[in-house]
Structure 1
């Protein structure tokens, strides 16, 4: 099993809260991680709520749950049984011991809504992402493999690039045909597939609902916004909001949108190998989205992530806010990155404390006072340094 960097945080949350909700897309490794946690917390009991037998076991939660008050109870795909949240509340109130429940969910919108309504003040949240560079990358070759195949464990660990590509194609099909309908999504699978492919082509660009609506046959732009919400809630697309600040300049107001896993970007566009990817127009944007996910996963709880762009050309790929402190991250798909004039202007506009240029390089080096070039796999260390006040 690959050591997941989220494990210590989940352990910490379990030591503080009666319930922890672990969010993450399908096939990202939540169940494997939960099994590892269960082995550390004896006794434990795990129920997969997609199985009829496990749903039958907990059909009477007021009888089942008190029998397991001394165990860590893991409920997988808990959003599929929304009535269960109402039963968890009185059970937690009867025994508020930390570490009683680990709730796994693949639909963040449903799970957050259901749990916040029923378990306010009783549940903590964490998100498991696809595999990160800090978990599996040792050199530029392994970095390239992670970027190409993406971070879904079965895709990353496949025997060949071809096997990985086939797994991802099957994942897309199953996700659209089975997983989303099981979450209550009633949009035709082929419509959502076309929309998802369009987002892959527009990776990292500003979201224009009206433009996409016309491309999909003239449907309402509000329907396009609903499609986006569906994929964001399912944790396969990221909507990155612009940074709002009073700098006396015209700011871009539309969000940027990314397919969150680079391997899925490549599968949606039919790019199976590094040769297919080299020179393709999406390569730079795919790399940008890949790094955005690495940064987001490395940040401590409470950190805010946005991007900055003005009509005059000042631009910063990521603005990280930790309390009152602001840091900048620029993403370059180059072994010798050179930020543009707009980057330096953005640092000045926002009074950025420190900035990093993330690129496919082997070692970090200074670029200017307060600005450093760093490899992707160093992001976790940088986040820990910032959190400690460094």
Structure 2
């Protein structure tokens, strides 16, 4: 198994939670001492054939994938089962390519996203929204300490982590792109406008955006395409995936500043989308729906193996209202269920086939679908 995601406190803790039920050894490949243990990796790994071997920050030693393939195949021939290695690391393009080439049929991927609303509970929703889901940011002693952690994370990721993964992109250029995406949180992608602002060509912007998507820092939400005989929006919507990073990129330090900022609604929408997708069953596909005439659904979830999607409108506020465009869009798409997610806690019908529901309650409902 490989756990892939932005480097964060909590990943190592999760690794040990997984390993708690059996003997395990942990190697941090950022550590010179631990890397030295793998001077002869085959010898070291064969000394621990009866243990779970946790390899953290695998992107530092990508050549290990070839060794792991041989060790795994030898163990299979000897009748030993799966689950001998837990591989942790950033989702670099090179890492994914090498692991898929070397370990095809021998590896399962698990995306390790920041914490979502379904995990932190209703009492911490505001903190999750402001600070984001990275554990050290969310659990910091103050908003100022949380903001400093996120600013340091952004700087470290741009100046140290991304160059280690291979791409040679000026850190300041990537920061400007990331900041522009935060300003346009949840907006339709306009690659030409971004290219002009960065003074680069469209292909370069596309490659930069692909990198941020591959690193699980940005989400491209695809438009739903159906044969409805209407002009549909074809550009994806783009979100910086962690709301705390949105606010750090925009210099938003506290809840008062956030509530007064124009990005507040889009930021809350992005946080809700990430939380819902984290709770949804494996294999769920996410879309939005928008026509040229203004019919719109913020989030369509195609839950396997259901033939019709769930339609979700996202509203920040305590008095949710259903716009006419949502009704028209639902008439086009014919979803199985229809929800309006809002900031309150009560669940009640807004119309005969539409429910107002809290974010944590809908996360719980999606989790129940996953467990069914």
What is the distance in 2 between the residues matched to 1:228 and 1:264?
A: 16
**Higher mean C-alpha deviation, range 199-208 or range 307-316:** 307-316
Q: Residues 308 and 334 of structure 2 are in contact (CA less than 8 Å); yes or no, is this contact kept in structure 1?
A: no
What is the distance in 1 between the residues matched to 2:352 and 2:94?
A: 45
Give the C-alpha shift of residue 384 in structure 1. Answer: 3.1
| Runs of 4+, deviation exceeding 6 Å | none
Q: Residues 204 and 256 of structure 1 are in contact (CA less than 8 Å); yes or no, is this contact kept in structure 2?
A: yes
| Alignment pair present for 1:110 and 2:94 | yes
| Alignment pair present for 1:99 and 2:79 | no
Q: Residues 108 and 235 of structure 1 are in contact (CA less than 8 Å); yes or no, is this contact kept in structure 2?
A: no
2:249 aligned residue: 268
Give the C-alpha shift of residue 222 in structure 1. Answer: 0.6
Q: Residues 294 and 379 of structure 1 are in contact (CA less than 8 Å); yes or no, is this contact kept in structure 2?
A: no
Give the C-alpha shift of residue 121 in structure 1. Answer: 1.4
What is the distance in 2 between the residues matched to 1:386 and 1:345?
A: 27
| Alignment pair present for 1:59 and 2:39 | yes
Q: Residues 28 and 130 of structure 1 are in contact (CA less than 8 Å); yes or no, is this contact kept in structure 2?
A: no
Task: Show CA shifts across 1:335-367 (max 9, x none).
Answer: 111121111111111110102111111122222
Task: Show CA shifts across 1:99-134 (max 9, x none).
Answer: 211111212533332222111111112112112222
Task: Give the TM-score of the pair, scaled to structure 2.
Answer: 0.94
Task: Show CA shifts across 1:304-355 (max 9, x none).
Answer: 1111111121111111112323111111112111121111111111110102
Q: Residues 353 and 370 of structure 1 are in contact (CA less than 8 Å); yes or no, is this contact kept in structure 2?
A: no
Q: Name the SS of the counterpart of 1:300 in structure 2.
A: coil
**Aligned partner (choices 365, 368, 372) of residue 382 of structure 1:** 365
List aligned pairs for 1:31-110, cutoff 5 A: 31-41=12-22, 43-96=23-76, 97-110=81-94
In structure 1, stretches of 5+ residues that fail to align are 1-19
**Aligned partner (choices 242, 245, 258) of residue 223 of structure 2:** 242
Task: Show CA shifts across 1:212-244 (max 9, x none).
Answer: 011112x10110011111111111111111112
Q: Name the SS of the counterpart of 1:191 in structure 2.
A: helix
Q: Residues 117 and 272 of structure 2 are in contact (CA less than 8 Å); yes or no, is this contact kept in structure 1?
A: no
Q: Residues 94 and 166 of structure 2 are in contact (CA less than 8 Å); yes or no, is this contact kept in structure 1?
A: no
Q: Residues 239 and 256 of structure 1 are in contact (CA less than 8 Å); yes or no, is this contact kept in structure 2?
A: yes
List aligned pairs for 1:126-275, cutoff 5 A: 126-139=110-123, 142-217=124-199, 219-275=200-256
What is the distance in 1 between the residues matched to 2:102 and 2:354?
A: 45
Q: Residues 85 and 118 of structure 1 are in contact (CA less than 8 Å); yes or no, is this contact kept in structure 2?
A: yes
Q: Name the SS of the counterpart of 1:268 in structure 2.
A: helix
List aligned pairs for 1:311-350, cutoff 5 A: 311-322=292-303, 323=305, 324-350=307-333
Q: Residues 185 and 238 of structure 2 are in contact (CA less than 8 Å); yes or no, is this contact kept in structure 1?
A: yes
What is the distance in 2 between the residues matched to 1:365 and 1:116?
A: 46
**Higher mean C-alpha deviation, range 126-135 or range 202-211:** 126-135
Q: Name the SS of the counterpart of 2:8 in structure 1.
A: coil
Q: Residues 186 and 237 of structure 2 are in contact (CA less than 8 Å); yes or no, is this contact kept in structure 1?
A: yes
**Higher mean C-alpha deviation, range 378-387 or range 149-158:** 378-387
What is the distance in 2 between the residues matched to 1:73 and 1:356?
A: 44
What is the distance in 2 between the residues matched to 1:309 and 1:33?
A: 39
**Aligned partner (choices 268, 286, 306) of residue 287 of structure 1:** 268
Give the C-alpha shift of residue 380 in structure 1. Answer: 2.8
**Higher mean C-alpha deviation, range 97-106 or range 267-276:** 97-106
Q: How many residues align?
A: 366
Task: Give the TM-score of the pair, scaled to structure 1.
Answer: 0.90
Question: RMSD of aligned C-alpha atoms?
Answer: 1.5
In structure 2, stretches of 5+ residues that fail to align are none
What is the distance in 2 between the residues matched to 1:105 and 1:372?
A: 40
Give the C-alpha shift of residue 387 in structure 1. Answer: 4.0
